[in-house]
Amino acid sequence: MDLGKQLLFFFGALGTFNGVVLSLYFFFLTRKKLLSNYFLGAMILAMSISLSMSVFGYFNPLQSKIYAQIGNSASFFIGPFLYLFLKAATSGTNQMQRNWKFMLYGLSALVLLVGLIRPYEVLSSDWCKYIARTVYIQWFTFLASAGYGIKDKIVKFFEKDQTLKAREKWLLTIYGGNLLIFGFYILSLSGAPFSTCINGAIVFSFMLYIAVFILLYRKKTDDLFQFIPEKTTNRKLDPVMARLLIEKVDRTMAKEKIYKDPDLKLSSLARMVGISPHQLSQLLNDYLENNFTTYVNGYRIEDACILIAGNNKLTLESVGYEVGFNSKSTFFAAFKKHTGMTPLSHQQKSAMANSTEL
């Protein structure tokens, strides 16, 4: 075995070892016994078993058939455990739901039945053609369902004016790592050279990243693992105080023209007004029926309309950058949403109006 293969085998084996240690940590060593931790530990254990069987089967062809059956069987549980982890974590529940039990019992019975009736050693071609692909389709289905369940956090990750909390970063780390590993498992299914061992290195990195993440937040592990939905208050601000605050926010936006800053954040505007980000968000939602992005874009579009009507020297794209948008597509989409027409249509309409006046 050459040095390259030895290193890949080493990282694969180390990734497996790290996974087993982490699964034991989530099963037994966390201070609070949370259902989400048990699901996460089970997911990591299934991933570790699947990886170990792939790596050892690759380097020990004589035993590859039994390794392949165990590995594929373990892979069948990665997606479901990820899905249940996210469901339990985001809902804050610590009680096993009946439908979750039925799902796991059903999957376990199916895996055992297929393994007994159609063992890999006898029907390896069926496993390669049908069963393995079914495993990956099922894994992808649970990945998609899990992603849909946390779509608000995924959107928040890509929004520039939003800041992720530690527990949200943790949740997206688990989901993103799982998505990456799934991609490399699909690569191995395609028969790419050394893809099995590359999986080992990827899983090793994933497990190591999780371990480092836990160490960084070791003083806040309960907060990290317990995704209790945040309580929100339905109590509105005093109407008189709310009106005064809205006037102050409007004055700040109009006078300082801070909407022209493409990196403007909710927290920055709240600090200028002298209230908390939560209060500002509540103010915009309750009294203006707008979120922060829509409110700021309203000022930007109003300014853009003035520029388009009165300045023919600027291109439409330049107008967008001038009023605070950081891309042409974002500007055009926001303009259409606020005015019902595209910037070009507005420019043509303004030109016709000006020519009529003349």
Q: What is the mean pLDDT of residues 325-331?
A: 91
Distance CA 272, CA 266 (A): 10
Residue 299 has a pLDDT of 93
Q: What is the CA radius of gyration of the chain?
A: 27
* DSSP state letter for 231: P
Tokens standing for residue 154: 């995924």
The structural domains of the chain, ordered by start, are 3-225 (1.20.1070), 239-357 (1.10.10.60)
Distance CA 64, CA 54 (A): 8
pLDDT-based confidence at 124, cuts 50/70/90?
low
Distance CA 358, CA 351 (A): 11
Distance CA 129, CA 352 (A): 65
Distance CA 335, CA 341 (A): 7
Mean pLDDT of all residues belonging to the chain = 78
Of 143, 155, 152, 22, nearest to 78 by C-alpha is 143
Distance CA 235, CA 230 (A): 15
Least-confidence region, from 41-45, 49-53, 113-117, 170-174: 49-53
Residue 323 near residue 308 (C-beta atoms within 8 A)? no
pLDDT surpassing 70 at residue 183 = yes
Distance CA 274, CA 271 (A): 5
The amino acid at 327: S
pLDDT surpassing 60 at residue 334 = yes
DSSP-derived secondary structure for 3-38? HHHHHHHHHHHHHHHHHHHHHHIIIIISSS--HHHH
End-to-end CA distance of the chain: 85
Of 170, 122, 171, nearest to 146 by C-alpha is 171
Residue 216 has a pLDDT of 57
* DSSP state letter for 59: H
Distance CA 357, CA 352 (A): 9
Distance CA 274, CA 248 (A): 10
pLDDT tens column, 48-80: 887 777 666 556 655 556 666 777 788 889 999
pLDDT surpassing 50 at residue 213 = yes
Measured CA angle at 94 (ends 89, 96), to 5 deg: 105
Residue 108 has a pLDDT of 92
Residue 197 has a pLDDT of 47
pLDDT surpassing 70 at residue 170 = yes
Distance of CA 312 to the CA centre of its chain: 42
Name which residue leads in pLDDT, 209 or 337: 337
Residue 120 has a pLDDT of 65
Distance CA 102, CA 152 (A): 28
pLDDT surpassing 50 at residue 180 = yes
Name which residue leads in pLDDT, 155 or 122: 155
Of 237, 335, 241, 244, nearest to 286 by C-alpha is 237
Residue 129 has a pLDDT of 67
Whose structure tokens read 């570790």?
A: 48
User: Which region, left, alpha or beta, applies to residue 340 given φ > 0 means left and ψ of -120 to 50 means alpha?
Assistant: left
Distance CA 204, CA 211 (A): 11
